[in-house]
Amino acid sequence: MSGTSAPSRKGLSKIACNRLQKELAEWQVNPPSGFNHKVTDNLQRWVIEVNGAPGTLYSNETFQLQVDFPEHYPMEAPQVIFLAPAPLHPHIYSNGHICLDILYDSWSPAMTVSSICISILSMLSSSTVKQRPTDNDRYVKNCRKSPKETRWWFHDDKV
Amino acid sequence: MQNQEGLQADADMASITPIQASEVEDWANFRDDDIMQQQSAIRAVEAEKIPLVGDKEPLSSLAAEYQSGSPILLEKIKVLSEQFDAIRRTRGDGNCFFRSFMFSYLEHILESQDQEEVHRITGNVENCRKTLQSLGYADFTFEDFFALFLEQLESVLQGNEASISHDELIQRSRDQSISDYVVMFFRFVTSGEIRKRSEFFEPFILGLTNTTVEQFCKSSVEPMGEESDHVHITAVSDALGVPIRVVYLDRSSCDTGGVSVNHHDFIPAISDAPSGTSGGSETKPFINLLYRPGHYDILYPK
């Protein structure tokens, strides 16, 4: 019953490392608009600044995304969360976990950090109300540390 | 350390989540974390029992599966055994069509040493690369997958430094880090072909999922583990110019009395012979797959 294995943080595979270097180079030439990657020497964790789009509920607000890459990126999805304070949004929990299918089941190696960012910005921009998910408190209290491990909770009981 | 709060309290956990009905079905019986973990553990154990690509087995092993089952299926397997003598199973992980296609194709090249075919498909692969580029895919998203496929293709041709044996081909097909990359290569090729000819594929996709071509590719072609059907097969066969025969084994019976087994040949659109009489033997596919509802395996003709 003690199944809470902490996700072991393995280094990037060679192929993942290679891919990320190319992705980073591309980002530097052509970053998605509204985003700013704070370049560090850590290829495995990117911290990205998100600027709310003008004319939306989040204009003039700035948030930070933390993207952690697994050993087998891009076959496996990166882990993407908002650092505190996370935007008030019906699909974003106060602990920064984001309810967005492409981050979990619908991830594909054809996607990139850049395409994730665009999806997240579009999710923010289409929001009509600034509020937490209705189950925020219980989710935040019970969830596992990584949203990639707790994704099934989203699927629970929606029958 | 499980959380102490009643897990049934999760009832409305999903209420905000836009998820697709098919996903809900799959996971609907997951009541809580414990069951979830148990289930995925069982699933992992089950999956490991079947390698990504299995051993070649006599067709009688297929009949053995249905010993106490449907007489129609047993009859059909009997009919099948007149044309085929072996089956190679693949893991039912949603990638079985692409994985079967991969193994079947590479094995064919290994055995035939058909240089001309390798030359031909290499040209098609280059066209697929251009298709993806013109659709706006960044090179770095697909080039590793393309390189890995071309590497496998080269290695099944004998007489160069990279050449591999049949055993090695099996091993590589079972090695997730190679096998999944080749599967993903086919997913890129399939997606590129569907998008390139979106007006052709649109009606089929609408009939299948009622989504746009773009959305279909994003949610049903490009993610690993998404199952394939005739749209995927048509696209990959056309893009690579490889004919594929799919033999259907299901309970349907025909009115004419005798039991027969249906098959469908996917013949690449480009190499279509001048229309006329059906079934030219020139286009007889060398890839033979067995389809049972929800799953593809490889068949070996006599």
Residue B242 predicted with pLDDT over 80 = yes
pLDDT at residue B107 greater than cutoff 90: yes
**Residue B67: its pLDDT value, please?**
87
Report how far residue B291's alpha carbon sits from residue B76's, in angstroms, rounded to the nearest whole number.
Answer: 13
The pLDDT value recorded for residue B6 is: 33
Torsion, CA A97, CA A99, CA A103, CA A105, rounded to 10: 130
Q: Return contacts of B212-220, CB within 8 angstroms, 24+ apart.
A: B217/B191, B218/A106, B218/A108, B219/A106, B219/B20
Nearest Cα to B297, choosing from B50, B76, B109, B4? Answer: B50
| Long-range own/partner contacts, residues A35-39 (CB < 8 A, 24 or more apart) | A35/A114, A35/A117, A35/A121
pLDDT for A140-150, tens place per residue?
998 888 888 76
For residue B44, name the pLDDT band (cuts at 50, 70, 90): low
Best mutation site among B20, B27, B227 for testing chain A: the one with the most A CBs within 10 Å? Answer: B27
Q: What is the pLDDT of residue A120?
A: 97
Q: By mean pLDDT, which of B6-10, B37-41, B266-270 is the weakest?
A: B6-10
Nearest beta carbon to residue A142 from set B5, B23, B27? B5
Please report the domains of chain B, with CATH numbers, ordered by start residue.
Answer: 53-301 (1.20.1300.20)
- Residue B284, pLDDT > 90, answer no
Task: Give the residue with greater pLDDT, B2 vs B150.
Answer: B150
Cβ neighbours around B105 below 10 Å, total: 23
Q: Catalytic residues of B, which ones? A: 93, 96, 263, 295
Q: What pLDDT was estimated at residue A40?
A: 84
* pLDDT at position A3 over 90: no
Residue among A74, A133, A155 minimizing CB distance to B23: A155
Cis-peptide into A90, omega within 30 deg: no
State the pLDDT at residue B34: 54
Residue A61: exposure state from Cβ atoms within 10 A (0-12, 13-18, ≥19): middle
Please state the rounded mean pLDDT for residues B99-106.
98
> In sequence order, what are the beta bridge partners of B263?
B247
Q: Cis peptide before A74, with omega less than 30 degrees from 0?
A: yes
Stretch B43-59: mean pLDDT, rounded? Answer: 83
Burial B225-264 (b: 16+ CB within 10 A, else e): ebbbeebbbbbbbbbbbbbbbbbebeeeeeeeeebebebe
pLDDT in the model for residue B26: 44
Reported confidence tier of residue B274, pLDDT bands at 50, 70, 90:
very low
Cα–Cα separations (whole angstroms), residue B241 to B45, B95, B237, B244, B251: 37, 20, 5, 10, 31
Domains and CATH numbers, chain A: 14-151 (3.10.110.10)
Distance CA A109, CA B151 (A): 19
The answer to whether the CB atoms of A75 and B9 lie below 8 A apart is no
pTM metric for this prediction: 0.85
CA distance A127 to chain B (A): 13
Give me the mean pLDDT over the A96-120 stretch: 95
Residue with tokens 């799919």, as numbered in its chain? B246
Q: Which residue of B has its CA nearest to A19?
A: B140
Q: Which pLDDT score is estimated for B48?
A: 67
Which of B13, B31, B33 is opposite residue A135, by nearest beta carbon?
B13
Is residue B223 helix, strand or coil? coil
CA-nearest of A89, A134, A150, A31 to B7 is A150
Inter-chain contact B19–A154, Cβ cutoff 8 Å?
Answer: yes
Contact A138 B218 (CB under 8 A): no
Q: What's residue A86's pLDDT?
A: 97
Instruction: Tell me the residues of chain A between 12 and 31 that have a Cβ less than 8 Å away from chain B.
Output: 13, 15, 18-19, 22-23, 26
Candidates B193, B297, B181, B198; CA nearest to B248 is B297
Instruction: Give the pLDDT mean for B43-51.
Output: 72
Q: What is the DSSP letter of B224?
A: T
Concatenated DSSP letters of A86-140: PP-BTTB-TTSBB--GGGTTT--TT--HHHHHHHHHHHHHT--S----TTHHHHH
Contact at 8 Å (CB) between B154 and B109?
no
Helices B230-240, B176-196: axis angle to 10 degrees equals 90
Q: What percent of chain A has pLDDT over 90?
A: 78
Distance separating alpha carbons of residues B292 and B269, to the nearest angstrom: 25
Per-residue pLDDT tens over the stretch A34-82? 999 987 889 999 999 999 999 999 999 999 999 999 999 999 999 999 9
Q: Measure the CA–CA gap between B79 and B81, rounded to whole angstroms.
A: 5
Return the H-helix or E-strand segment holding B51. none
B171: pLDDT confidence band, cut at 50, 70 and 90? very high
Region B267-284: mean pLDDT is 56
pLDDT band at B150 (very low <50, low <70, confident <90, very high): very high
Q: How confident is the model at residue B208 (pLDDT cuts 50, 70, 90)?
A: confident
Q: Do residues B98 and A72 make contact, with C-beta atoms less than 8 angstroms apart? A: no
Q: Which of B32-36, B274-278, B283-287 has the lowest mean pLDDT?
A: B274-278
Q: What is the ipTM of this complex?
A: 0.87
pLDDT of residue B32 exceeding 60:
no
From the list B20, B36, B222, the residue facing A110 with the nearest CB is B222
Per-residue pLDDT averaged across B123-146, rounded?
97
Report CA torsion sign: A118, A50, A80, B10. negative
- Asked if A110 and B141 come within 8 Å (Cβ–Cβ), the reply is yes
**Does residue B10 carry a pLDDT above 80?**
no
Q: Are strands B244-248 and B287-292 parallel, antiparallel or unpaired?
A: parallel
**What pLDDT band is residue B270 in, cutting at 50, 70 and 90?**
low
Asked whether the beta carbons of residue A75 and residue B14 sit closer than 8 angstroms, the reply is: no
Q: pLDDT over 90 for what percent of chain B?
A: 70
Instruction: Answer whether residue A112 shows pLDDT above 90.
Output: yes
Q: Enter the DSSP assignment of B50.
A: S
Record: contact B16-A134, CB cut-off 8 A: yes
| DSSP per-residue codes, A19-82 | HHHHHHHHHHHSPPTTEEE---S-TTEEEEEEEPPTTSTTTT-EEEEEEE--TTTTTSPPEEEE
Query: Which chain A residues are Cβ-neighbours of B12 within 8 angstroms?
Result: 134-135, 157
Residue B59 CA: distances (Å) to CA of A17, A20, B108: 44, 46, 19
Strand partners, B34: none
The pLDDT of B148-175, averaged and rounded, is: 96
Per the prediction, chain B carries an average pLDDT of 85
